[in-house]
Amino acid sequence: MADAITSTSDNKANIPLWLLAELSYACPLQCSYCSNPVNYHESRSRELSTQQWKDVLKAGRKLGAVQLGLSGGEPLVRQDLEEIVAEARGLGFYSNLITSTVGADSKRLAGLKEAGLDHIQVSFQGSDEQTNDYFGGSKSFQHKVAMAREVKKLGFPMVLNFVLHRQNIHQTAAMLELANDIGADFVELANTQYYGWALKNRNSLMPSRQQVLDAEAVTNAFRQQHKGPMEVIFVVPDYFEERPKACCNGWGTTFITVTPDGTVLPCQSAMELPGLDFPNVRDHGLDWIWRESPLFNTFRGTDWMQEPCRSCPEKDQDLGGCRCQAYLLTGDINATDPVCSLSPEHGIIGEAIAEALSETTEQPLLFRNPKTAKQLSS
C-alpha cells in the first residue's frame, strides 16, 4: 500500500466550525450499525476528565469553532454533562446534544436547559416498540417517546434521527408520522453508512435499490402532504450514489472530533486508517493538531491524489471521497472512493450489494455487547 502524501494546500488555514466532543463510548443501547470503533471498550478507563474537556472546549473556541456536538456512545452517562454544557454556553458555543435519551428524565433535561444547552437530537431505531427495542438492544421506545415530548415541552429545537436499513426501511411512512405527532422540528432519515459495526453487519442491513427508491418516494409524498414547519432530510446511502461525498466536507477543513480519551480526528472513523499517527490533546495543543499535525494535513486539498482523481474536473467538489470508505473497500488509503462511478474499483460496490441481497436467510446481527447478542438470539 502506498504511503499517504502530505498536502501542501492552504486548506490548513481553514477553521474547524464544528467541534464534535465524543464524551464517552459507553452506551445503554447496542445498535448493530453503531459507528463507534469495534474496540470501543478499551478507551473507557482513559476518558478525559471534566477539566480536560473544558480545556478542549476553550481551545476549540480559540480556533474558531462555533458549533458543538456532544455525542458518544451516550453522552448522558457522563454525570458532569451539565457542567460541560455550562462551560460551552459561557464560551459562546451553540451546543447540540446527540442522544438516545436513555438516562434522561424531565429533571435532567430541565437541568441541561438551565445549563445552556441549545439543541437536542434524539435517535430512534424504528417506528414501533418491537423494532426500536430489538435494533437498539434495549427496551427504550416508550421512554424515547416520552423524553422527546419532554424535550419539546421545554422548548428545545429537536431533530429526530432514524437510521434506515433493510429491516426497518419499510417503516419510513410510520417514522415520519411518529415524528410529526411528537412535533419534531427536523427529521433525519439517515440510511446506514457502512463503518464500524455497520460494516460488520452489512449483509444484514443493506437494502435493495428499490427499497431506497420507495422510501425516498414515500418521503417526498409526505413532504407534499404535510407542508408544516417540520423539515425532512433523506440521506441516500453512499453505495447507491454515482459520486462520493467529500470526507466531512473536506478533510481538515470544517470538522474536528475529539474522542473520549482525547484523540483528535478529522472524522469519526479516521482511526480505521492504518499507518497514521493520531495526536492526542494530552500531548499537543488543539491549535497545533489542527494546523500542523501530519494527520490533519495528510489529505487536505488535492495534492495527495492519485489517478483518476488527480486529473478529474470534479476533484475540488468531492475531494476523492471518503478516505475510510476507500480504505475499507480497497485496502488503499489513497484510492478513489469506489462509490465513484469513475473509480477503477467501482465494481466493488455492486458486488457488495449483490452479496448482501443474495443471502437466502437473514444472518444474526452482531451487536456491540456480546451479552445482548446472546440474549436476543436465544
Q: 323-330 and 347-357 are packed helices; what angle lies between their axes, rounded to 10 degrees?
A: 70
Say if residue 34 carries a ligand binding annotation: yes
Distance CA 103, CA 24 (A): 14
Q: For residue 354, give the 3-state DSSP assignment.
A: helix
Number of domains in the chain: 1
Domain assignment present for residue 87? The answer is yes
- Retrieve residue 205's grid coordinates: 442491513
Whole domain around residue 316: which residue ranges?
Answer: 14-377
* 309 assigned to a ligand binding site: no
| Run of H or E including 121 | strand 119-124
Residues 230-260 as b or e (16 or more Cβ within 10 Å = b): bebebebbbbbeeebbbbbebbbbbbbbbbb
Cell numbers at residue 242, please? 454515482
Q: Which residue has the cell 415530548?
A: 149
DSSP-derived 3-state class of residue 229: coil
pLDDT of residue 377: 40
Query: Within a domain: residue 310?
Result: yes
The size of the chain, in residues, is 378
Identify whether 2 is part of a domain.
no
Closest CA to 37 of 295, 280, 269, 369: 269
Question: Quick check: is 8 in a domain?
Answer: no
Q: What is the CATH classification number for the domain harbouring 266?
A: 3.20.20.70
Which alpha helices (DSSP H) does 206-304 contain, by range? 209-225, 286-291, 294-298
Tell me if 43 is assigned to some domain: yes
In this structure, are residues 44 and 25 in contact, taking their beta carbons and an 8 Å threshold?
yes
Beta bridge partners of 256: 19
Q: How far apart are CA 42 and CA 261, in angstroms?
A: 10
Domain membership of residue 1 (yes or no) is no
Global pTM reads: 0.90
> Does the annotation place 267 within a ligand binding site?
no
**Does residue 5 lie within any of the structural domains?**
no
**What phi and psi values does residue 125 have, to the nearest 5 degrees?**
-105, 0
pLDDT (tens digit, 0 to 9) for every residue of the chain, 378 residues total? 333 333 334 545 688 999 999 999 998 888 888 877 766 555 566 899 999 999 999 999 999 999 999 999 999 999 999 999 999 999 999 999 999 999 999 999 999 999 999 999 999 999 999 999 999 988 999 999 999 999 999 999 999 999 999 999 999 999 999 999 999 999 999 999 998 888 989 999 999 999 999 999 999 999 999 988 999 999 998 999 999 999 888 999 999 999 999 999 999 899 999 999 999 999 999 999 999 999 999 999 999 999 999 999 999 999 999 999 999 999 999 999 999 999 999 999 999 999 999 866 666 787 766 554 444 343
Does 104 reside within a domain?
Answer: yes
Contact of 258 with 264, CB cutoff 8 Å: yes
